[in-house]
Amino acid sequence: MAKKKIDLTPAILILPAFILVVCVIIYPIISAVVTSFRYYRLTDILNTKFIGFDNYIKVWSDDAFIASLPNTFKWVAATVISQFIIGLTLALFLNRPFKGRGIVRSLSLVPWVTPGVVIALIWTWIYNGNFGVLNDILIKLGLISAKIPWLSNADTALNSQIVTMVWQGIPFFMIMLLASLQTVPSDLYEAAVIDGTSVIQRFRYITWPHILPTVISTCMLRVIWVFNNVEVLYLMTQGGPGYNSMTISLNAYIQAQKSLNFGYGSAIAVYGTLMMIAFMILYRSITKRFIEEE
């Protein structure tokens, strides 16, 4: 009986990508999980040791972590929902022909292509409680009588940074949804107009079902990005004042990179990852049902 020859070509072809995935994704994840079970401070590296679930237990008595849970929810939900609504509105507006549309489309990309560090610095000065342009404008409009320390006030710090993040992310939604809108066949709208449908009906029954897959994927991407974002929060307030703008990702970053407490920071990062996985499973099941209904 002749031996069956095993064709190794597919395995060889896939090997470079597999090695890359292992090195860049799988190894760092495993390394972070292993680190989270250790006492691992760079400032005390000689005493590095395995401590089981101590880091995971300690997290629940950490005021910064407890405060970061509702902050993270607010940060992600308010940012992504606002970005989506404004981005969709602008996409619908830019989908209509008008003079100078090309220029408007190009200019509207500016916030998206500006580095996060620059955005954080620009907005920090806009919000500055002593010299910021925002206070000047509001005082001149008669909306406030005294300057507001936007980033130093517990009630306004996180909200101010959400506005910054919304401003930065609108173009992403706008461009993605605009691309999706342009794939909707125009004859569907023409037929609907002949049938006497309203603008809202045309949006609900023609536009929305067509752009829904893009909406779902862009929202999912944006949730992940905003959840993981630390540069804006760190540069503007470092999670402060107090813990008022502390999020899970920022807490993990500061613990690991600034306090050099890699074990504890990794435990927080693992919690964050588990929360994101749980959210994604929920999101997928809800949106799957949603698409099926459409």
Partner 1 sequence: MKMKRILLIALAVFMCTSLIASGSSESKEEKPTVTYWYWEDIQGKHVEMLADRWKEYTDDIELILEPIPAGNFHDRLITAVSSGTAPDVFQMYTDWIPELVGLGALEDLTGKFDDWEYIDEVPDYMIDLAYAGYDRMYTFPRSVLTMYLYCRTDYFEEIGMDYPKTMDEFYEAAEKLTRDLDGDGVIDTYGFGMRGATNGHSMWSSLVFNAKPGFDYFDEDGNAQLMDPAIIEANQKYIDMYKNGWVPPTAPTDGFNEILQNFRAGVTGMLYHHVGSSKTVTESLGDNVVAVPLPAGEGGVFGVQEVTNFGIYSGSKNKEAALIFLKWINSPEIQSVICEELQQVPWLESVQKMDKFQDNVFFKASIESLPDSHLLPITTTMSQFTNMAWPQNFQRALLGEITGEEMLQNLNDVLNGV
Beta carbon nearer to partner 1, 59 or 80 = 59
Tell me, by CB under 8 A, how many residues bind partner 1: 35
- 3-state SS of 192-213 is HHHCCCCHHHHHHHHHHHHHHH
- What percent helix, strand, coil does the chain show, rounded to 5? 75, 0, 25
Query: Which residues partner with 38 through β-bridges?
Result: 50
Is residue 261 near partner 1 by the rule CB under 8 A?
A: yes
Beta carbon nearer to partner 1, 111 or 129 = 129
b/e 87-105 (16+ beta carbons within 10 angstroms → b) = bbebbbebbeeeeeeeeee
Of 114, 126, 208, 240, the one binding partner 1 by CB under 8 A: 240
Q: Residue 4: phi, psi to the nearest 5?
A: -75, 125
Binding mask 87-126 for partner 1 (x = CB under 8 A): ----------------------------------------
Contacts of 236 (CB under 8 A, 6+ apart): 120, 123, 124, 127, 151, 160, 161, 164, 245
Is residue 210 near partner 1 by the rule CB under 8 A?
A: no
Residue 283 buriedness (CB in 10 A; 0-12 / 13-18 / 19+):
middle
Of the candidate spans 11-19, 28-36, 140-148, 182-190, the one that interacts with partner 1 by CB under 8 A turns out to be 140-148
Question: For residues 276 and 224, is the Cβ–Cβ distance under 8 A?
Answer: yes
Which stretch of DSSP H or E encloses residue 38?
Answer: strand 38-39
Query: Which residues partner with 261 through β-bridges?
Result: 41
Of 87, 169, 171, 239, the one binding partner 1 by CB under 8 A: 239
Is residue 157 near partner 1 by the rule CB under 8 A?
A: yes
Is residue 232 near partner 1 by the rule CB under 8 A?
A: no
Is residue 156 near partner 1 by the rule CB under 8 A?
A: no
What is the number of other CB atoms lying within 10 angstroms of the CB of residue 278?
10
Beta carbon nearer to partner 1, 218 or 244 = 244
Say whether 241 sits in a helix, a strand or coil: coil
Q: Report angle CA 160, 166, 171 to the nearest 5 degrees.
A: 150
Q: How far is the CB of 273 from partner 1 (least distance, A)?
A: 21
Is residue 128 near partner 1 by the rule CB under 8 A?
A: yes
Question: For residues 165 and 249, is the Cβ–Cβ distance under 8 A?
Answer: no
Q: How far is the CB of 156 from partner 1 (least distance, A)?
A: 11
Of 1, 2, 6, 46, the one binding partner 1 by CB under 8 A: 46
Of 9, 43, 183, 186, the one binding partner 1 by CB under 8 A: 43
Q: How far is the CB of 153 from partner 1 (least distance, A)?
A: 8
Beta carbon nearer to partner 1, 89 or 259 = 259
Distance CA 208, CA 225 (A): 24
Binding mask 63-82 for partner 1 (x = CB under 8 A): -x------------------
Is residue 258 near partner 1 by the rule CB under 8 A?
A: yes
Q: How far is the CB of 160 from partner 1 (least distance, A)?
A: 11
CA R_g for the chain: 24
Judged by the rule CB under 8 A, the positions of this chain that interact with partner 1 are 41-46, 64, 128-131, 145-147, 149, 151-154, 157, 237-244, 254-255, 257-261
